[in-house]
Each structure stands twice: as C-alpha cells, then as structure tokens.
C-alpha cells in the first residue's frame, strides 16, 4: 500500500524557518518525481515545487524561489522542504505527492499545517 | 489569480450532469496533459482524471475528461451528494517550468 506521511509543520514567527519531511512507503521511491503542494485557508491549491528521481532537477513557483529548497534522500525514502524567511502568506497545509508520468499527482499525504504568525 | 481559469462554482440536482471548464494557454494546457483532482472538505486531493481523459482504477465512469486546444473539461454524470467537493484542474507549464492548478470549482449538489 502506497503511503506518504508528512511531518514538521507548526507555528513559526515571520522570518523563521521550518523543515517539512515526507516519509514514503509502498513503492520504489527512486522511480518517481515528487511534488509539494500547499492549500492556504480559504484559497485554492498551489503547486510549490518538484524534484526529479535523483534530486538533480528541481523547480519552484516564483513566490518561494530562493526561500524554499526541495530535496530528497532515496536511501531513507524521504522528501523534504526546507522553508526559510517564512511569511504570513506561506501559512497553509502542505501536502507531498507522488508524481507519475505526465505530471499527475497520483498519491498524496494527509498534509501538515504550517502557520506563520507572531 | 490563477493562470488556469475555472468557474468558482457550479451546481446541479442529484442524478443530473455537470461540466467544469479549465481554460489556459498554449504553454500549459495546449501542450501538456491535464489532470483533474477532487478535494473533499478537510482531506487531501484525489486524482480523478489524468492524461486528459484517463481514469485511475477505482474512479467510476461517471467522471470523464476531455481536452480541446487550450481548454479542458471535467464531466460528472449521475450526480450524488457525495460528489460535493472542490475540483481542480492541473497541468505543467512548459514556458515557466512549473506545475499549476486552476483556482478550483466548488460543486454543490442541490
């Protein structure tokens, strides 16, 4: 059974940092691209970043470029999102998703809540 | 403001049919596959349609997808109250090299 479990969310002050993790099981992690997606309160889904199978190719939405870093450890079956210089507008539930061919996000975690507030 | 444009809301009676549109451009929908996602309140999104018109195993054939040019459409027939959710289209943008979602459409089954 495919499972993705996010962790690391919480309350952080503006300008602070957090590192999200996504532990996966039930599939060969190194065979898939992975994506982070967020859902801010009262808003729609926002694609945040993705990473290729070996971690060498990464893409970011403009609003997080230079502040967030996506990475993965295939030996640990884990995906990460390092978030620095956090802003109030980064407040959201963050989901990790397995990304199959054609960029479809076919399996999702349950999400972890990040709240940026003083 | 999303690059992919969806109607904010649609509604129909149980048993009826509804369609949800997603409009983009040549750099995204026009040259990439489209997926559709359903998000029930308080849950993670679930893929309903991928590669424009394919259904993952377990998704009933009441859900269908199509694409023409720079627009895509999700169709749902035989509406059930359990279909009330937010629906999102998603694709890749080859010019921006980013993924993207539409703004989402809230479906109400009256």
Mean pLDDT across the stretch A39-48? 96
| Bridge partners (DSSP) listed for residue A63 | none
Where does the pLDDT of residue B2 fall: very low under 50, low under 70, confident under 90, or very high at 90 and above?
confident
From B109's Cα to the closest Cα of chain A, the distance in A is: 20
User: Is pLDDT at B17 greater than 90 in this prediction?
Assistant: yes
Whether A26 and B75 have beta carbons less than 8 Å apart is answered as: no
- CB-based contact (8 Å) between B33 and chain A? yes
Which residues of A fall within a CB distance of 8 Å from B44? 95, 108-111
Q: Do B33 and A103 lie within an 8 Å CB cutoff?
A: yes
The answer to whether residue B59 neighbours chain A at the CB level (below 8 Å) is no
- Angstrom distance (rounded) from CA B22 to CA B35: 11
pLDDT at B3: 87
List, for residues B64-83, the tens digit of each pLDDT value. Answer: 999 999 999 999 999 999 99
pLDDT exceeding 70 applies to what percent of chain A?
A: 100
């Amino acid at each position: 059974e495919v499972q993705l479990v996010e962790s690391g969310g919480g309350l952080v002050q503006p300008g602070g940092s957090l590192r999200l993790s996504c532990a996966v099981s039930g599939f060969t992690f190194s065979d898939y691209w992975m994506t982070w997606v967020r859902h801010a309160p009262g808003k729609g889904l926002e694609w945040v970043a993705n990473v290729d199978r070996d971690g060498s190719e990464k893409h970011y939405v403009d609003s997080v470029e230079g502040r967030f870093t996506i990475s993965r450890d295939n030996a640990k079956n884990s995906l990460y999102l390092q978030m620095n210089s956090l802003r109030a507008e980064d407040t959201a539930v963050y989901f990790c998703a397995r990304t199959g061919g054609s960029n479809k996000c076919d399996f999702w975690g349950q999400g972890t809540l990040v709240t940026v507030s003083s | 403001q999303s690059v992919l444009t969806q109607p904010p809301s649609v509604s129909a009676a149980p048993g009826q049919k509804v369609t949800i549109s997603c409009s983009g451009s040549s750099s995204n929908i026009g040259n990439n596959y489209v997926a559709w996602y359903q998000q029930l309140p308080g849950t993670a999104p679930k893929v309903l349609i991928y590669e424009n018109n394919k259904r993952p195993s377990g998704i009933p054939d009441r859900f269908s997808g199509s694409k023409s040019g720079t627009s895509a459409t999700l169709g749902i027939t035989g509406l059930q109250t359990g279909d009330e959710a937010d629906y999102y289209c998603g694709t890749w943008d080859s010019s921006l090299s980013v993924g993207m979602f539409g703004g989402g459409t809230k479906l109400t089954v009256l």
